[in-house]
Structure formats: structure tokens, C-alpha cells
């Protein structure tokens, strides 16, 4: 498992069932290689990237409530989430959470999942010791596999509990 030299390692993942539209999210917190906490949830009529971002946001909320100011690395197998946090969110924030581009059809178009991105931005700004990193999904990495399994349970719960 990739680990930070100090602090917490948090693995996030989203799950999506395209035909039914149900989605799930989960995160797992590790301290010194041992699981310290986890959460999961599900939603109907969800999108894959929305679930990936929800997992990330829920992990950030947990960290800022239970380990404020502590160094942590949040691992995601979603390139969109990682690049969004590390490269794009500051640009989006400066542009009023809109895409600004040379293409007139794209210019001033609100970004997808803007509300989630704004909440993620706020939570990341609360703790400068948080890092977002990419990990390869479905490659046997214990933290990623655990988050994936919990996200699947979350997705399945959306199917049965009416959420």
C-alpha cells in the first residue's frame, strides 16, 4: 500500500451501475497501516464521477472533523478527481466555477458537479496538510480494494433502501 511518511492514508472510491443508475461511495482511513475508520453510502440516479467526488468530500469532512490539521494523503483511482483537486479547482474557483475557454460554446459554461467541487475546495482549504494522490484501481492495492468493496455495498444499498 502506498503510504505517507507521517500521517493518515485515506482511500476513496465511487461505484456506479449504469443500467439502474444507482451509485455508491466509500472511504477508508488507515493509521500506521491499520484501518481506523470507514464510511459508505449510496444514491439513486447517480453518476460515476459524482460518486467519486462524494467519496472524496465525505473523506475530507471526516478528516477535518476527526483529525483537523493532521497530515494525510487521500488516494483516489479517479484521474478526474485527482486532477480536479490538484490542477483545476483553483482555475474554476477564479472563474466563478465556470469553464472559460476560447470555444464560444464552452465559454462561461458551469462546470459539472459545481456544488461538490465548491464543497471539496472549502474542505481542502481548511487543512494545508492534505494531499490528493492517484493510485491505480483494481490492482490489488489493499486500501483501494477495500474502498471499492465498500462503495459497491453503498451502491447496492441504494437499490434496496429507496435512496
Residue 28's pLDDT is 98
Establish if 3 belongs to a structural domain. no
Cell 465559454 -> residue: 107
Cell 483511482 -> residue: 77
Residue 104's pLDDT is 61
Establish if 2 belongs to a structural domain. no
Give dist(CA 162, CA 45) in Å, integer.
Answer: 11
Establish if 126 belongs to a structural domain. yes
Establish if 73 belongs to a structural domain. yes
**Residue numbers of the domain that contains 124:** 8-161
Establish if 94 belongs to a structural domain. yes
Give dist(CA 65, CA 58) in Å, integer.
Answer: 11
Residue 105's pLDDT is 62
| Residue count of the chain | 163
Structural domain total, the chain = 1
Please indicate whether residue 16 or residue 5 has the higher confidence score (pLDDT): 16
Cα-based distances in Å from 134 to 103, 108, 144: 30, 29, 11
CB-based burial of residue 125 (10 Å sphere; 0-12 exposed, 13-18 middle, 19+ buried)? exposed
Cα-based distances in Å from 150 to 3, 15, 26, 55, 122: 20, 9, 6, 11, 26
Establish if 1 belongs to a structural domain. no
Establish if 143 belongs to a structural domain. yes
Give dist(CA 46, CA 141) in Å, integer.
Answer: 26
The pLDDT confidence band at residue 163, using thresholds 50, 70 and 90, is very low
Cα angle 130, 131, 134 (rounded to 5 degrees) comes to 145
Residue 31's pLDDT is 96
Mode of pairing for the β-strands spanning 72-76 and 8-17 = parallel
Q: Which tens digits make up the pLDDT trace of 33-86?
A: 999 999 999 999 999 999 999 999 999 999 999 999 999 999 999 999 999 999
Is 57 in contact with 132 (CB distance < 8 Å)? no
The domain that holds 63 is classified in CATH as: 3.30.420.10
Q: Which tens digits make up the pLDDT trace of 83-124?
A: 999 999 999 999 999 887 766 665 578 899 999 999 999 999
Q: Which tens digits make up the pLDDT trace of 133-150?
A: 999 998 999 999 999 999
Establish if 76 belongs to a structural domain. yes
Amino acid at each position: 500500500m502506498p503510504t505517507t511518511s507521517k500521517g493518515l492514508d485515506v482511500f476513496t472510491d465511487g461505484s456506479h451501475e449504469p443500467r439502474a443508475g444507482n451509485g455508491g461511495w466509500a472511504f477508508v482511513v488507515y493509521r500506521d497501516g491499520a484501518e481506523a475508520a470507514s464510511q459508505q453510502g449510496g444514491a439513486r440516479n447517480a453518476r460515476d464521477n459524482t460518486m467519486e467526488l462524494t467519496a472524496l468530500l465525505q473523506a475530507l469532512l471526516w478528516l477535518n472533523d476527526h483529525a483537523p490539521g493532521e497530515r494525510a494523503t487521500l488516494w483516489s483511482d479517479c484521474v478526474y478527481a485527482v486532477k480536479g483537486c490538484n490542477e483545476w479547482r483553483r482555475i474554476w474557483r477564479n472563474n466563478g466555477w465556470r469553464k472559460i475557454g476560447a470555444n464560444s460554446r464552452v465559454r462561461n459554461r458551469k462546470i459539472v458537479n459545481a456544488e461538490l467541487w465548491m464543497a471539496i475546495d472549502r474542505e481542502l482549504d481548511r487543512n494545508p496538510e492534505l494531499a490528493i494522490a492517484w493510485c491505480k484501481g483494481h490492482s490489488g492495492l489493499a486500501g483501494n480494494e477495500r474502498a471499492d468493496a465498500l462503495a459497491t455495498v453503498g451502491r447496492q444499498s441504494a437499490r434496496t433502501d429507496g435512496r
